[in-house]
Amino acid sequence: MNRDALIEGIWERDPAVWTASDEAHWLGWLDEPLHVQEGLDDIRRFAESLHEEVDDVVVCGMGGSSLAPEVLRRTFGVERFHVLDTTHPRAIRALEEKLDLGRTLFVSSSKSGTTLETRSHTDYFWERTGKRGAAFAAITGRGSELEHLARERGFRAVFAGEPSIGGRYSALSPFGIVPAVLMGVDAAQLLEHAQEMREACRSGEGNPGYELGRQFGEGWREGRDKICISDAPGDFGLWAEQLVAESTGKHGKGLVPAPGESAEGADRQSAQPELPDPYALGAEFFRWEFAIAVAGTYLEINPFNQPDVQAAKDKTNEVLATGAEPELESEGSVEELLAQKQEGDYACVQAFVEPTPENDRRIADLVARLRRESGLVVTHGYGPRYQHSTGQLHKGGPNTGLFLQVVDDQGDELPIPGKPFGFRRLIRAQAAGDLETLKERGRRVARVRLEDL
């Protein structure tokens, strides 16, 4: 399909651009920068109503519900805004110790309304705040379980997501814009940049989204499937890697996002986020969304589904259903894992450890070691966050990954109200379930303990 026909096909919502399946049902993101503007005054009024009562805001969400808010938080340097997307009990306790629960708003964010981590965080802090509906808000799909729960419990506000937008395409929807307003970001200016990019992506010649997507697609055809995303303010790559991995990593194909990695290598290509100022983030969100829609046509896949994500969730539930605490014994070693490398592979660190500055440094040291000893592109992510981000690529993409799971001591159990398990057992089940799923898919894996590195 030539350039003009491809661009026209996307804007006409023609599923034949991709696989002629259900793609047309997932293109609401094309118009969302305009639609979300219509409800912006209501979001602002909600934020203004909190000024005398709220000091801190915590978003409880995973994947598409957490990564755009996290990048916005980092980009604008907002200290009293927190994103909770870990089930590590030490991390949950550490966050709670920072907060005055009487002056904190918890925003439960889940499109499906059933996300296990988000619902667990919500129930935990519901108990800890004395079951005060005024301390909570929700962003969710219309008619979801979370919406019903929020109404039942008297949450302060409920914001509805657009049903025709998948999580990783939701940065410019209420899932990104409500948190932005709560941070004090000028959302109108953010959306203005997005709308300008939207118009630019309608054109033929010089279409920024098309050109980036064409680069990705043609590079993939040439064997350059590693997308080395240059470092950018606010860690833009943290959001972009979910968009790239979950959209393209399926049916044995995929682009491998590698934030911060060198683009020097036969299997690599560079990608430079264009962020001259923080508000340009609105334009970049849209440019990359459009680019990955374009890239999907080259890979001949549906960029809007995620057929392999549920596998690890099901395995986690199987582990939890046993009623026993999973054993997370070491399996193999770094050396044994790297001995299996082949040309075109990448290494991936999956860290089920407490996300702290000290552990950030330890994981960075491990990444540098793997890069040095293997010569491969090395990606990394905290679990269970990455399961909602790059996990689709790991299970459904090409079998070119060397997966190193890292675990630590989770500390004492932290009960989850209404559940027969707590956060300690949950994160252990998530680690155990993910490794088992990778093995079932024939992936090369190892598990090490953090203290043994």
What does DSSP assign to residue 36? H
Low pLDDT (below 70) residues in the chain: none
Question: Taking a C-beta distance cutoff of 8 angstroms, is the pair 288, 243 a contact?
Answer: yes
Q: Between vectors from CA 308 to CA 304 and to CA 314, what angle results, nearest 5°?
A: 130
Domain ranges of the chain: 3-30+190-299, 32-185, 309-452
Which pLDDT tens digit goes with each residue over 331-388? 999 999 999 999 999 999 999 999 999 999 999 999 999 999 999 999 999 999 999 9
Distance CA 424, CA 394 (A): 24
Q: 392, 299, 396, 399: which is closest to 344 by C-alpha?
A: 399
Q: Which amino acid is at 403?
A: F
Q: Write the DSSP string, 316-377.
A: HHHHHHT-SPPP---BS-HHHHHTT--TT-EEEEEEES---HHHHHHHHHHHHHHHHHH-SE
Helices and strands of the chain, counted as H and E runs: 17, 12
In order of 285, 343, 451, the CA distances from 337 in angstroms are: 36, 14, 18
| Residue 84: HSE in the Cβ half-sphere, 13 Å Cα cutoff | 32
| pLDDT confidence of residue 51 | 95
Supply φ then ψ for residue 60, to 5 degrees. -100, 105
| pLDDT confidence of residue 1 | 79
User: Three-class SS string for 183-244?
Assistant: HCCCHHHHHHHHHHHHHHCCCCCCCHHHHHHHHHHHHHHCCCCEEEECCCCCCHHHHHHHHH
Question: Taking a C-beta distance cutoff of 8 angstroms, is the pair 139, 107 a contact?
Answer: yes
**Homologous superfamily of domain range 32-185:** Glucose-6-phosphate isomerase like protein; domain 1 (3.40.50.10490)
Which pLDDT tens digit goes with each residue over 226-259? 999 999 989 999 999 999 999 999 999 999 999 9
Q: What's the topology of domain 3-30+190-299?
A: Rossmann fold (3.40.50)
| pLDDT confidence of residue 217 | 98
Strand partners, 105: 57
Which pLDDT tens digit goes with each residue over 301-310? 999 999 999 9
In order of 89, 194, 292, 293, the CA distances from 212 in angstroms are: 40, 16, 8, 10
Do the two domains 3-30+190-299 and 309-452 of this chain adopt the same fold? yes
CATH architecture, domain 309-452 = 3-Layer(aba) Sandwich (3.40)
Q: Which helix (H) or strand (E) holds 160?
A: strand 157-160
| pLDDT confidence of residue 321 | 96
pTM: 0.97
Q: 206, 187, 198: which is closest to 293 by C-alpha?
A: 198
